[in-house]
Chains A and B, each alone.
Chain A
Amino acid sequence: MVATGVAVEAVVNGLLLGGIYALAALGLSLVFGIMDVVNLAHGHMLMVGAYLAIVLLAATGITPLVGMFLAMGVLFVFGVALQRVLLERVVGEGIEQPIIVLFGLALVLQNVARILLSGDARTADIGIPRGWFDLGFLSFERTVTFVVAVVLVALTWAFLQYTRTGQAIRATAQNPDAARHMGIDTDRIYALTLGVGTALAGAAGALLAMLFPITPFVGWSYLLKTFAVVVLGGVGSVPGTLVGGLVIGVAENLGDLYLGYRNVVSLLIFLVVLLVRPQGLLGTGGEE
């Protein structure tokens, strides 16, 4: 019999974790929803962001909360360059070609990280004395990273909702041809979207480095988890991604607590949602 207090802790810890899952999945969801590209290298971009924060911390002592901005900047440039140099040539050529390119990129990133940084697991300390705050049973690191993640998700939603560029991105997502006829430079929008998507992956990586060990091989497992979040929340939906992340985080913790299984739970949810509600909780199913 599980004590009520332990169950409450599991739910709260799951919510805190779910916020970061949502941020990690948001970039994947945007790129998928707007560009119709399944970014198989998304988990590896997250890994790169994590390593940037870790290396910056090791070299200069700067907290990953600041390193996160460096990771976002570097990965934004990387995403834009990736779209301009590689993906632009294959987007619109069918679903297979971008997948193959991005799968190859994932392998390259994994092996470059392994060669440069070895296969050892590395983590980053948050760099803020824990004595500053007493949050009771709440983990200080999880609480801080949750707040940062949710703020970033909210800013992304506001950007898409209230800026002209955001409106152009949404217009491109709905109908690229119509958007072009309305004078929107869709090539630029795609580059910007991939840049934002990879920057969000970088931010999530920097935050996750404070909670979990990072190795060059973590990309695939985060890719699977973020896929589950995206499918649950609905492709391209920012609020859906947030809800999906929170649900997956709580479900994993409760699955662990009551069944002894954690990762299986997110994959089961992935399958059930695909069967029952393929458009996800808040997705539009392409009717928007």
Chain B
Amino acid sequence: MAQQERSVSRRRYLRGTGAAGIAALTGLAGCTLGEDGGGTSTGDQDPLTIAATIPESGRFSSLGQDLRRGYELGEQRMNEELDREVNLVVRDDESDAQTLREQLQAITSNNDVDMIWGSFSSLLVTAGSAFAENQELPFLGIAFAYEEPHRNDGYEWTYAPFPKSRDITRSTLGTLELISESERPGQVGIWEPNSGWGAEQAGYWEDRLSAEGYEVVLRETFEIGSEDFSTLISRSESAGVEVLLSNPTPGGGITAVNQMRENGWAPDMLQFVRGADPSAWWSALEDAGAYALMCPGWVPGLTGNGNEQLRNRYESEYDDDSEYLAVNVGGSYNLTQVAQQAVEAADSLEPGAIQSALRGEEFETVIGTFSFEDNGLPAEGELTAPTGQWWDGAQRLVYPDTDSDRALDLQYPISPWDER
């Protein structure tokens, strides 16, 4: 605690002395150059320093590079478009909450940090958020759908430009409505991980889908880290589940699909939120991973709000002309757009000014146009929560409908295993 307070004091001290120095220099310049020489160039603005951690090793390492690329492209854009230098300090959190805290402590101790960007998953993002709340620094995090901490943990500095549980549920309903009424499945099964987010998401799905006339024929809890889904598969088959919804870890999702194949059973529609996000999904499952739906915040096929610019920057920076970018590149790039627009609106690096901008402004990013509630949740109903589907080795947008060639018509129903 003392160390954290010291780092805050140091940051404020540096900012205070820096501001005093600039004021003194400006005054001197005014004395010597008069009005004509007093203009402000971009170099005169305080640099914006951002601390970020990403999981480049450990359990979520397959996502680290995608997050880094989105952040780097955002930093590049901010340096071009903001009238101040932007420095992004990124470290590997090793997919571990304690390491993440240590890395953020190290970065903030050695730099005059103005803002923090989060990692991946509720576990890591909430750890980063707790640090930022303690330091009273604006914090932005994606891959964090859990709503409850926003409501119950008194968030003041944490903002999540990312679909939350309620948005994901809205997207699930929208995706189901893409299916003609005569063919639309009616029996829903929910596999609920035994976590706070698992219960929250399952609750939203059950309440909203029931209200819309779907029958929830199965809602069963499973342990996070479980490697055997055979019992859940048997129960789903026995209950006549047509739509299977869950939010497992990537490893859990891959295991579950493998075991569905072993057991020769598949639902007509499958949505694994977060589980089907990483590219490791396809490398582990290949064609068996087709049809799976996910809601990762951004999916190739979205248009407008800088999507083409994102694609062009990506091609040019990484010399990679892949038709479909990894979903977390877009998600993290979206976060950088929020950061830039907040700093522009605040016209200051004071944490309070950026916080006010985050609370008051409307943001236009590659995932849509939205604002935030005071507790950091994206305002209800504003955020696009795109649903993607794995098809031919790529994640492609199926909901909402766009005219992009990268979007895909929903592939439904899932073919039986012996026909794939």
Contacts and interface: CB of A to CB of B under 8 A. Distances in A.
Contacts of B263: 137, 139
A6 B218 CA distance: 14
B231 A13 contact: yes
A5 B231 contact: no
Contact of A119 (B60, B194, B222): B60
A140 B264 CA distance: 9
Contact of B230 (A5, A139, A213): A139
Interface in B245-280: 250-251, 254-255, 258-259, 262-263, 278, 280
A253 B417 CA distance: 24
B234 A213 contact: no
B199 to A, nearest CB: 12
Nearest to A9: B234
B283 A120 contact: yes
B223 A123 contact: no
Contact of B255 (A140, A213, A262): A213
Interface string A107-150: 00000001000111111000000110000010111100000000
A260 B221 contact: yes
A212 B255 contact: yes
B44 to A, nearest CB: 44
A215 B251 contact: yes
A217 B228 contact: no
Nearest to A260: B221
Contacts of A121: 250-251, 254-255, 280, 284
Interface in A233-288: 252-253, 256-257, 260-264
A212 B227 contact: yes
Contacts of A261: 223
Given A3-B238, A212-B255, A217-B59, A123 B284 contact: yes
A13 B230 CA distance: 7
A257 B284 contact: no
B223 A119 contact: no
Given A9-B234, A139-B263, A213-B255, A119 B59 contact: yes
Contacts of B238: 3, 5-6
A122 B222 contact: no
B61 A119 contact: yes
A189 interface: no
B390 to A, nearest CB: 16
A52 interface: no
B195 interface: no
B304 interface: no
A264 B280 contact: no
B62 A119 contact: yes
B228 to A, nearest CB: 6
A262 B222 contact: yes
B57 interface: yes
Nearest to B64: A119
A17 B228 contact: yes
Interface in B360-391: none
A122 B230 contact: no
B231 A215 contact: no
B6 interface: no
B124 to A, nearest CB: 14
A102 interface: no
Given A2-B235, A120-B280, A213 B254 contact: yes
A264 B417 CA distance: 32
Contacts of B255: 121, 123, 212-213
Given A119-B62, A213-B251, 5 more contacts: A9-B230, A123-B254, A139-B230, A139-B262, A263-B225
A-B interface, 4 closest residue pairs, ranked by CB to CB distance from nearest? A119-B61, A139-B262, A120-B280, A121-B251
22 contacts: A6-B238, A9-B230, A9-B234, A10-B230, A10-B231, A119-B58, A120-B62, A120-B280, A121-B254, A122-B283, A123-B254, A211-B258, A211-B259, A213-B251, A213-B254, A253-B228, A256-B231, A256-B232, A260-B194, A262-B228, A263-B223, A263-B226
